[in-house]
Structure 1
Amino acid sequence: MKKIAVIGAGTMGNGIAHVFAQNGFQVHLIDISQASLDKGLATITKNLDRMMAKEVIDQAKKEATLSNISTFTNLKDGVSQAELVVEAATENLDIKLNIFKDLDEVCSADTILATNTSSISITQIAAATQRPEQVIGMHFMNPVPIMKLVEIIRGYSTSDEVTQTIMQLSEELGKTPTEVNDYPGFVANRILMPMINEAIETLYNGVAGVQEIDTVMKLGMAHPMGPLQLADFIGLDVCLSILNVMYNGFKNPKYAPCPLLVNMVVAGKLGVKSGEGFYDYSESRKAEQVSSQFK
């Protein structure tokens, strides 16, 4: 397997494309917007430059990685001859169902269809196709070039052969694949999101402030990043979407999103990507931080 298509040039999609391309795969990166594709390539280039600065790769490896990536705005052209398609679009069920329905129609009969969903049922996504045995979850962690874990999720009909192929492929990427069963949130987010939601509840109830909550978890629980900062990094809209999937899937109130999280998403305070969440990531704030270093 050497020809890969990745759908979505956002944070996860460009990271997945980066990792495949760096490991010698021919990657077709697909998005409906050329501007999104250009932004995705710029992010990949910046990340490769960071790796060069740390002497993880050299200039030749950077150039080879970038040369392995081609961009497409047309789905049919982009998935042509792909042996594996990895969907990394927005965490929205309807969007994913439409994508997989289209993929089933335009991809070769033996193409494996994978989704990077972090919470949505693989079985439900597979049901949009005529090849459910060839549909699988391939949940990479963010940032993809750095994080080692890939959750491999079998749908109800996913074949043993496809599962083994994707497990081996993940190892070829230098990742550690871990097979889990198809339940809302899988393992990573079933455990992580209630923790983040509880941290937001703690803030909402006035127990402590943002920095205090994160400091307790970083210094007291040895977490590299506090749960509120991590929520900003993931995207508060993504956190809300995952919690809603689990709440609707399990019908258990412990997964109900905190009202503060709901209100912040409605207000457009989504974290790093919007410039503000529990922390301020605006350019003015960055300028203040830089100037304070020289006082």
Structure 2
Amino acid sequence: MTQPLRTVGVVGAGSIGATVCVDFVVHGFRVVVVDVSETALAETRELLREVNRFLPAVRPGLTRLGKQEAQDRLVTSTELAALAECEFVVENVSEKWEVKRDLYRELDRILPEGVGIGVNTSSIPIGRLAAETGRAGVIVGIHFMNPSYLKDAVEVMRGDDTSDKCLDHVQELLSLLGKQAVVVGDFPGFVSNRISHLFFNEAIRVVQDQGVEPAVVDDIFKKCFGHTMGPLETADLIGLETVLLTLENLRESYGDDRYHGCALLREMVASGRLGRKSGQGFYHYHGTSSVAITAGV
């Protein structure tokens, strides 16, 4: 008799959440994804179709799923109650504290005892969210990079109360996705974002103050340092509003003005130029292609 697929939940089908869903599905899981936006849920299904279509090229060693099989493995809902059947839940909602706080209180009510939550956060400490629940031992940070299905490692943030059992479970899940868990402690921004967002902000400041073209900034880091993407391309991929929110959280946490988002970043977010998700950031986007915008933005 065929064993049922293991089921994980994902809350938030935005730019990173959608790729986390796809990652789990193509690696043999059933995924229940919850989002308030029917459009985001439909876009997640479309992303799964596209990635599955080219799966052997995207992830060598994986076998393309049948179209119906792939779609059957992804369950979409606008109701958090749909997560009650999951063995583990990954949360990917906005970096706004009030949004996360209210969600964790609700997840604590809905999820069965012992079901863990992976906090896919850019800057909010794991312990602060765990304190909003009665299950601090099974709250752990899992910082998936975008797009998740192309990445071979994940930054895992262990809170002060995160249990050995929870950490072992997360490392086992990640190993089934072909990923290495790089475990760090629990402090605002962790290792990756505490460093990377200073990098993004300074790259934007170079465009703002010196008028350097975005493509030139990115080429320096791709061609001279071997980065796959430059800082401005990466910021566009993440979403400029998320970059700004993360900087604000870090500035508040550390009381350090180094994390003050520069004027150009704030102007772009205020005008809705958020990067890939809006079709325009430091580059213009048409489907999956991009055309550089001049430094005048």
TM-score norm. by structure 2 comes to 0.89
Deviations 1:59-100 (A, max 9, x none): 445543332111111111x11221111111122211111111
Native 8 Å contact 2:20 2:148 kept in 1: yes
Residue 252 of structure 2 corresponds to residue 248 of structure 1? yes
Structure 2 residue aligned with 1:293: none
> Which of 67, 80, 84 does residue 80 from structure 1 map onto?
84
Structure 1 residue aligned with 2:273: 269
Structure 1 residue aligned with 2:206: 202
Native 8 Å contact 2:203 2:231 kept in 1: yes
Work out the CA distance in 2 between the residues paired with 1:142 and 1:63: 26
Native 8 Å contact 2:114 2:135 kept in 1: no
Native 8 Å contact 1:27 1:69 kept in 2: yes
Work out the CA distance in 2 between the residues paired with 1:36 and 1:165: 29
> Which segment drifts farther, 97-106 or 219-228?
219-228
Structure 2 letter corresponding to 1:168: E
Structure 2 residue aligned with 1:90: 94
Residue 47 of structure 2 corresponds to residue 35 of structure 1? no
> Which segment drifts farther, 80-89 or 53-62?
53-62
Residue 175 of structure 2 corresponds to residue 175 of structure 1? no
Residue 220 of structure 2 corresponds to residue 216 of structure 1? yes
Residue 112 of structure 2 corresponds to residue 111 of structure 1? no
Residue 63 of structure 2 corresponds to residue 70 of structure 1? no
Work out the CA distance in 2 between the residues paired with 1:104 and 1:244: 27
Work out the CA distance in 2 between the residues paired with 1:84 and 1:199: 37
Structure 2 residue aligned with 1:135: 139
Deviations 1:130-176 (A, max 9, x none): 11111111111101110112111112211121112111221111111
Flag the 1:277–1:107 CA change in 2: closer, same or farther, 3 A: same
Work out the CA distance in 1 between the residues paired with 2:150 and 2:58: 13
Structure 2 letter corresponding to 1:208: V
Q: 4+ residue runs of structure 1 moved beyond 3 angstroms?
A: 52-65
Work out the CA distance in 2 between the residues paired with 1:241 and 1:55: 32
Native 8 Å contact 1:2 1:25 kept in 2: yes
Native 8 Å contact 2:126 2:186 kept in 1: yes
Native 8 Å contact 1:276 1:282 kept in 2: no
Q: SS of the counterpart of 2:154? A: strand
C-alpha RMSD over aligned residues: 2.1
Work out the CA distance in 2 between the residues paired with 1:268 and 1:282: 16
Residue 192 of structure 2 corresponds to residue 184 of structure 1? no
Structure 2 letter corresponding to 1:16: V
Flag the 1:118–1:82 CA change in 2: closer, same or farther, 3 A: same
Native 8 Å contact 1:6 1:30 kept in 2: yes
Unaligned ranges ≥5, structure 1: 288-295
TM-score norm. by structure 1 comes to 0.90
How many residues align? The count is 285
> Which of 197, 202, 207 does residue 193 from structure 1 map onto?
197
Native 8 Å contact 1:18 1:65 kept in 2: no
